Amino acid sequence: MDLLDDYLAGVRARGAVFCSTVSVPPWGMRFTDPAPLTLSAMLRGDAWLVPAEGEPVELPQGTIALVRTRSPYDIVDRPGSEVRVLVDGADRCTLVGDPGEARRNWRVTGRTVGDAAGSATDLLVTAGYRGGGDLCRPLLDALPPVTIVRPDSALSALLGLIAAEVEQDEPGQQIVLDRFLDLLLVRALRTWFAHPGAAPPPGYQALADPDIGHVLRRLHEEPARPWTVASLAAEAGMSRTAFARRFSALVGKPPLAYLTDWRMALAAERLRVPGTTVAEVGKEVGYADGFAFSVAFKRVRGMAPSAHRSRP
């Protein structure tokens, strides 16, 4: 496990909506209650993403958009096209417009909305990722409101597999498509974070360093272990001074500060689980008792564990 694995541990596509647009433009879709992170890919044809604020963003065929906003936004064949489909917070599609829309042979199911099979010229796939909670916060904070990923050969091959699958109707198809989207999300994030203008989450780039990357993986594997700078330096095979300096330079914060932040993210997630006590959560992340954990949690998060648990 590494930090990207942990950031995405609670984020999974489930019952994703696959939308096949009208055969002849204009067409438009509005996402009325977006998930914290939404992935959209134009498998066939071109489109535009129109945010609530800001300029429209072009989505040529093969482009992947990672959208991090809670404000409604549209995906349309071109700016100014009328919205014909609404996608709500439960990823359900509904049609808008006059009753004549039914004569256009639109379909609205749990997975597909659009023209009858074989008639659509454009194909959009989209999935909302609503899980993750505190664990994925560093990942979300590292992304701009709209991230556009241009496909490389590996992404293009994966998009081809998704396009072929979505146009079939086979048993277990939803599970296959959901897993394809999980893979697409990871590959898109890798591609974006390798971009010169990207700002990856803390520690991401350090994973490529054989010594510091190893230490980061160990911290994520055993966050409750009583780590010290000396024991972490021993894991890296370095002196304490050299290790602390190199870790801080690559990760952006000292090793024990990074460990504390990660422990608090894990704790914040666990506190949401019904039936867990503050003392139990504290021990799970490396604190001897509930008091020591509560002091540390309040120092880092600005509130007591009980206050965090009661937040909506």
Identify the architecture of domain 3-194 in CATH. Sandwich (2.60)
Cα distance from N-terminal residue to C-terminal residue, the chain: 30
Query: For residue 125, which of 16, 24, 28, 48 has the smallest C-alpha distance?
Result: 16
Which CATH number among 3.40.50.2300, 1.10.10.60, 3.10.129.10, 1.10.3720.10 corresponds to the domain 204-310?
A: 1.10.10.60
Domain ranges for the chain, please list them: 3-194, 204-310
Q: Residue 14: what pLDDT?
A: 52
Is 251 in a helix, a strand, or coil?
helix
Give the residue ranges of the chain where pLDDT is below 50. Answer: 15, 20, 22-23, 100-110, 116-117
Residue with tokens 């994520």: 220
pLDDT digits (tens, 9 = 90+) for 15-55: 455 554 544 577 888 999 888 888 999 988 899 999 988 89
Alpha-carbon span 244 to 256, nearest angstrom: 9
Query: For residue 121, which of 176, 167, 177, 184 has the smallest C-alpha distance?
Result: 167
The answer to whether the predicted template modeling score (pTM) of the entire model surpasses 0.95 is no
